[in-house]
Each structure stands twice: as structure tokens, then as C-alpha cells.
Structure 1
Amino acid sequence: MSILLRFQTIEDKDKHEAVRRLVEGSTGDFNFSFMMVLAVMMATLGLLAGNEAIVIGSMLVAPLLYPVLSLGLGISMSDYSLISRSSWTVVKASLLSVFAAAATTVFFTFSGVSFGLNDAIALRIESSLLYLVVAVVSGLAMAYALVKPRLSETLPGVAISVALIPPLAAIGVGVAWLSLPIIAGAAMMFFVNVFGILAAATLSFSLMDVHGEQKTAAVVIAKEERRVEREDKKASTLPETEAKQVA
């Protein structure tokens, strides 16, 4: 059996589950944003300290891969609602990450801690064809592992292999240092990685014939919107409830 046929033998229930996980994982709610801020702060501190272990840890915390893969899913299904939703999550998360990284860098700079360009930062501002290939391979691996429950334990390894958070952190460092070369180099690496993952994910999901999962995606999106609305409403009414209890 050829490799292409392997993609077409995936069971419908596994497709349903993969779509559900991607749609839920790409919901740009408070939880998503909070984890992104924590991840990029870790990555920024790791870059400034030149500590790769911290940088690797940040990749495991960040949920940014999900909306990128969800965008590929939306393209493969021609689902404009999912495309718009996922794109906005990626853009919002990226801007938030750059701001958090810049703020973290400025804070420690004004605290009297001296930092400079090191190997960890330099690695995130030099993109090449090799990184594009890594992103493509990672996108293929992530998309395939999502529809294969037995391969789910490999997802953290894939998250480490493709660098999305470190370049965003490096952009923030460049903004804080007013360094155009760092900003441009890190931005190029980020876009190369996103493009590679997106292209691979779109191809993978197209081969899996997930076009029939549009209804599943729509149902999960509606469910997620209701959940976010409930949580936001609960959070907004909490101060009033506490005030009444005190009174």
C-alpha cells in the first residue's frame, strides 16, 4: 500500500477527534492568551540568558501550533469561517507575544541586568532552506499524529522541533533593543516556519479527505463560542458578586 493511500484509510472517528482538538486548541480565549504570554516570557528569558533548556521548555508550553494547523485544516476544507478564526488567533497571539517579549526585555534591562547578543539569539535570526524543510516535516508529522491516537505522545517532540515561539521572543527582544537586524531576521524565521507548517498541514489534511468534516468544525466552533461567552460573562460578574457579599 502506498504512502498516499495510508492517508486515505484514516477512520472517520479519528478525523472527527482531530478536527475537534484543532478547533478547541485554536480558540483565542483567555487561557490561550495566558499560556502564550507565559511561554514567550520563558523563551525571552531563555534567549537573554543564552539558556537553550529554558527556550525548549517554552515550546512545550505554547499552544501556537494549534491555530496554525487549524488554518491549514480550514484551507483544506475551504471553510472560510475556520480560516478567518484561525488566522485571527495566530495574528493576535503573535502580536501579544512580541509585546510580552519586549516588555520582559525592557523590565530586566531597567533592573540593571546586562544582556547582549548571544548564540541563542543569533540562532533565531538566521533563516535558511534547512529551517523551511524542518517546518514542512514537522507540519506533516503533527498533522498525521493528530489523526492517529497512538501517536499522540509524539506531539511534544514535534512542538520542540519547529520553532515558533523563540523567533517571536527574538522579535520582542529586537523591539526592546531597537535592533532592526534582529527584528527582520527573527520575523523572517517565524514566517518561514509558519509557511512550512501551514503548507504541510494543508497538504496532509487534503490527502486525508477531511472536506466532509465542515459540519463537525462548525459545531465545535459554535460550542467554543458559547463556552467563551459564558466564561467571559462569569468573569465580568464576579466583582459584582463579591461586592454584594462584602456588603
Structure 2
Amino acid sequence: MRLVQVVVPDEKRGDIVSKLREHELGVSTTKETSGEDDRTLVSFVVPADAVEHVLDELHEVGLEEEWYIASLETEFASFEGVDEVQNRWAKTPNRVAPRTLRSKAKDMRLNTRAYLWMMTLSTIIATAGLLIGSPAVVVGSMVLAPIVSPMLTASIGLVRDDQRMVFDSVRMQGVGLGVAVVGATAFSWLLKAVLAVPAELAVGNIELIAIRFSPSILAVIVGLAAGAAGSFSLATKGQVAIVGVMVAAALIPTAAAAGIGFAWGQPGVGVGAVVLLTLTIIAVNLGAYLTFEYMGYGPDEVDRGVFATDGLRRTAALAATVVLVVAVVGAVGVGTYQQVTFERSVNEATTEVLQRATYDDLGVVSVTAEYVGTGPLFDPSTVTVTLSRTSDRPYEELPDELAQAIDERTDERVMVQVRFRDYERSTVPSAASGTTPTPRPS
């Protein structure tokens, strides 16, 4: 429920109150005198889903935007017919008013100093979690990260034509994630320098890091879904804080992985993670924007009037931001296309080799490939194939056979490393089969 308060001139009080009575809402009025004009404070309790609809109807009978209007979250309300009012509006589309949407988004924002500190600290925690291989610590870093707020406000500003909000939010995203990568790099270098972590650690082979430096179509899907979930939660009764963890899950560990790669002198890991980070940022923002558009949050006449002032400067700033984003999207798009094509060829080659009779006893657990770049820094690429087996047979020829098959399909010189996960298969029938196991000789 929401408690909405509106200060109206006395001559408009009758129309406003009559319209509220039509909806059988709990209404109270308080007479006040301020300056030369007699005014009345009209307070009414309304379900959250009805705020936008009721305010629109009040505008039709004379409510003005410049009047004092406040909407407060209410834990409890009691008036005649409150249950019927709540039940009626519970069946309507679940969507908050545009003014409420903007207010909720702005309330999530931290001041710049607090935001940058929280981004730095969350990335340091994520870096430590990746290096010690602790998923629990990595999850803790996601809870702290405040990155969801500027991402949602950027999408709101774009869909509501608030150019200043777009510019400020995009700037906060870039600065925050830039600080995160730099902080992760410095912290990783410090750990390496004091030998808190082995200096010769193969960071690219750490499982939690290996999955975070290769752009893929799945990363785009995760980013789009996370952004859409954030928008939907903000525009309804969803838990934005929980969705914020999902958004951070797609970004903070990746920023930490980039810092680790740079600190350990592995540009393939560092640049690959940065590309994945950029791709995910774009996907999250796009998912959030498309969701707000789908829910009908386009700009109205009020927005156009408010944000039309000083439009030239803001339009120029937004245009520069758009050009920068388009350039980044283009560069990331090319790299992502190369990576996706490379991964598809690797999967095809791996499938072809493992279908040979020699490898019938092997099962594929996972196939990962580092980011495919250009130039000597990224050549050769590393492909890691994890297989399951039921014996300790070494399969010494398999890495070379996989490397040859991948080279033939991609024209890329690759280094293949094969991991095995051994398991034992039972030879005694289960009790559920209805058979009696044959005793083994002692």
C-alpha cells in the first residue's frame, strides 16, 4: 500500500476528493493556510499498483505537476472496504508509476565516494575468492557490489528521455568498473609480490577464472536476462537487491579475473576478461532498456518539458557517449564473433576426435577456450578439455590429435591440455532391479 499526499488549492479540493471517492479509497483532508493562498492537504491510501492510474485520473480533474505530491510506502492501513480495494487492484497489471520508478532508482544510488569504495572492496574480495578457489567468497563480493544502480538508472534515463541521467549513469558505470579492474590488478600484484600466492601460479587454469575470460553467446544471454530482471523488479514489487546480486555476478568476478590476468602478466586472460566484461555491461543495459520499453515507460509530455531545457549541451554529451558506446560495441562485437566462431569449431573438432572407437570410454565434462586475439600476445590460444573416464589409461596421443583437428578447422595454432576426472562404475546390480547380487569370493 501507498500513502499519497497532495497539497491542492481549495478550489480544486472538491474535484480531487470526488475522484478519489469514486475508487472507494481511504481519504482524509487537512486544512492549511500558507501565504496568500488557502490550500488543503489531501491524503489517501492506495494499492501500489493503482498509484499511476489514480494520479492520471487526478490530472484529468486539475492536478498539476508543480503541486506538492508525495508517495510513501505504507506497511499498514485500515479503512472501510480496504480488502475489496486491495483485491480489485491485485488483478491489474503490476506496474509502478514513472515518477515512482525514477524515485526508486535514485534512492538506490550511493554518493560517488561510497560507490567507488564499495566497488573496490567488492572486487578485492572477489579477487581473493578467485585465487583461493572459493565460490562462497566470490558470492559474498557480489552481495556488496552496488553496480546495479547506475545500470538501471541509465536505462530509465534513456527510456524516459532524461539525457543527464543517462550521461551520469554511464559515467558511473565506466568509472566504477575501471576502478574495479585497477584495484583488482593492484591487489593481485601485491599478493604476488609478498608471495601470499605462488608467483608461478597458472591463473588461467584456475577453474573459477577460466570461465571468465572468454566472450560467448551465453554471456550475452546472462547479461540480457540480468538486466531485464533488474528492470522488471524495479518496476514492480520484485526484490531489486536480490537481482543486484545477479547483475554483480556477471560483472564483479570478471573484473577481478581481468586484474589477476594483468598482474600475472597473462594478457590473454586480462584482455579476454575485459572484453567479456564490456560485452556483459552492454547486454545488461540493453536488457534493462528493452524491458522498460516493453512495459510502456516511454517519455511523456512532462518529461519532454522538464528535460528540454539546456538540451543542446546534454544532447552533445549524450551523442558523444553514444559514439563511444557504438565504437566499443563494434570492437567487442568483432572479438565476440571471432570467439564464438572459434569455440564452435573447437567443439566440432573435439566431438569428431572423441567419436573415434579409441575414445569410446571417455565422456566430455567441459571444453573451454581462451579469448582469440590477434598478434603475438594471444598466440597460441589454449584449449582445455575436461573428460571423464573409468580407468587410469593415459591417452597420451589425445592432446596432439585434438590440437591437429582444431588447427585444421580454425587455422589457429593452439595448445591443448586435457584433464581427466576418474570415477568407478558399480558391478553389483542395485536392489531396485529385483535381482539378488552374487556373493563375491572372500
The TM tier, using the shorter chain, reads 0.7 to 0.9
TM-aligned CA deviation for residue 130 of structure 1 = 1.1
- Of 112-121 and 18-27, more deviation after overlay is shown by 18-27
Aligned partner of residue 95 in structure 1, secondary structure? helix
5 Å-filtered alignment, 1:39-188, equals 39-113=122-196, 114=198, 115-117=201-203, 118-149=206-237, 151-152=238-239, 155-157=241-243, 159-160=245-246, 162-188=249-275
| In 2: Cα distance, 1:7 partner to 1:37 partner | 42
**Superposed displacement of residue 208, structure 1:** 2.8
- Relative to the length of structure 1, the TM-score reads 0.76
Q: Kindly tell me: are residues 200 and 157 of structure 1, through their superposed partners in 2, closer, same or farther at Cα, counting changes over 3 Å?
A: closer
The one-letter code of the counterpart of 1:189 is L
CA positional deviation for 1:67? 0.8
8 Å CA contact retained: 1:8, 1:209: no
* TM-score normalised to structure 2 length: 0.44
How many percent identity over aligned positions?
24
Distance 1:11 1:131, change over 3 A: same
C-alpha deviations, 1:162-188, integer Å up to 9, x for none? 411111111111221222101121112
Offset, 1:214: 4.2
Measure how far apart 1:100 and its partner are.
0.9
Higher helix share goes to which structure? Answer: 1
Residue 52 of structure 1 and its aligned partner are, at CA, apart by 1.3
**Partners of 1:8 and 1:207 within 8 A in 2:** no
Q: Hey, which of these two has a bigger chunk of strand by percent?
A: 2
Letter in 2 for 1:10: R
Query: Cα distance, 1:127 vs. partner?
Result: 2.2
Q: Which has the larger radius of gyration?
A: 2
Q: Using CA pairs under 8 Å that are at least 6 residues apart, name the structure with larger relative contact order, 1 or 2.
A: 1
**How far apart are the structure 1 equivalents of 2:146 and 2:177?**
12
Distance (Å, rounded) in 1 between the aligned partners of 2:131 and 2:222 = 25
Aligned residues of 1:48 and 1:116 also touching (Cα < 8 A): no
Rounded Cα–Cα distance in structure 2 between residues aligned with 1:7 and 1:165: 37
- RMSD across aligned C-alpha pairs, in angstroms? 2.5
Equivalence for 1:31 = 114
**2:96 paired residue number:** 11
1:36 aligned partner, one-letter code = M
Structure 2 counterpart of 1:110, which letter?
A
The one-letter code of the counterpart of 1:132 is: V
Aligned to 2:104: 21
SS of match in other structure, 1:205? helix
Could you say if the C-alpha distance between residues 143 and 121 of structure 1 is closer, same or farther in structure 2, counting changes exceeding 3 Å?
Answer: same
Unaligned runs of 5+ in 2: 1-90, 308-442
When structure 1 is superposed on structure 2, of 139-148 and 159-168 the one drifting more is 159-168
Check conservation: 1:171, 1:187, Cα contact below 8 A.
yes
- Between 1:133-142 and 1:24-33, the stretch displaced more is 24-33
Per-residue Cα deviation, 1:77-121 (whole angstroms, up to 9, x for no partner) = 222101110011011101111111011101111111214311111
What pairs with 1:222-233 in structure 2 (closer than 5 Å)? none
Aligned mates of 2:182, 2:274 — CA distance in 1:
14
* In structure 2, distance between residues paired with 1:130 and 1:59: 19
**1:50-70 C-alpha deviation (Å, 9 max, x unpaired):** 111111111111011211121
Look up the SS of the partner of 2:142 in the other structure. Answer: helix
Aligned residues of 1:102 and 1:173 also touching (Cα < 8 A) = yes
Say whether the 8 Å CA contact 1:142–1:158 is kept in structure 2.
yes
Instruction: Please show how residues 212-227 of structure 1 align to structure 2 within 5 Å.
Output: 212=300, 214=303
